[in-house]
């Protein structure tokens, strides 16, 4: 099942059904959502003074969290420069990740490095050819 965030309309429906005294599982069924989603929404967005769920407050809180969410800008050009240098020395993404962690650089997973390699290849780069093992067989000769 693909995850989708709750809409403003769903938040107002949750608030209305809570006022009617409906259980979280009943609300979840009516909205076609998992009960855990509704439970998390209600507990995360309670109004601070009285603890009740209000749709307007919940929507404002959700928008605030969304605006502060990371948008792929965690690593700067200097971080990637170090990664590229090590990859060109035929280091694996796992080795690069471990090395960066040991040297006190921002923690970067090997999966993040693989994603970088995939983007680089799509844009005509050749870093992917430095990969080892099964992926190396895909190298253009």
Q: Kindly report whether the global pTM for this prediction surpasses the value 0.75.
A: no
Give residue-wise pLDDT tens across range 14-29.
999 999 999 999 999 9
The answer for residues whose C-beta is within 8 angstroms of residue 57's C-beta and 6 or more apart is 45, 47
pLDDT confidence of residue 139: 47
Q: Contact, 33 vs 3, CB < 8 A?
A: no
CA 84 to chain centre: 24
- How many angstroms separate the CA atoms of 58 and 44, rounded? 8
pLDDT tens for 49-100 read: 998 999 999 999 999 888 777 666 678 888 899 999 999 999 999 999 999 9
Reply yes or no on whether the pLDDT at 30 is more than 70. yes
Instruction: Tell me the domain boundaries of the chain.
Output: 8-68, 77-138
């Amino acid at each position: 099942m693909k995850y989708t965030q709750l809409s403003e309309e769903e938040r107002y429906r949750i608030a209305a059904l809570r006022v009617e005294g409906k259980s979280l599982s009943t609300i979840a069924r009516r909205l076609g959502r998992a009960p855990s989603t509704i439970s998390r929404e209600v507990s995360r967005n309670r109004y601070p003074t009285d603890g009740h769920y209000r749709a307007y407050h919940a929507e404002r809180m959700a928008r605030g969290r969304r605006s502060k969410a990371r948008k792929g800008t965690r690593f700067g050009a200097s971080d990637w420069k170090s990664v590229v240098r090590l990859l060109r020395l035929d280091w694996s993404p796992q080795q690069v990740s471990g090395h960066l962690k040991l040297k006190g650089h921002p923690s970067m997973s090997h999966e993040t490095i693989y994603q970088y390699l995939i983007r680089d290849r799509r844009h005509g780069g050749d870093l992917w050819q430095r990969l080892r093992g099964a992926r190396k067989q895909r190298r253009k000769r």
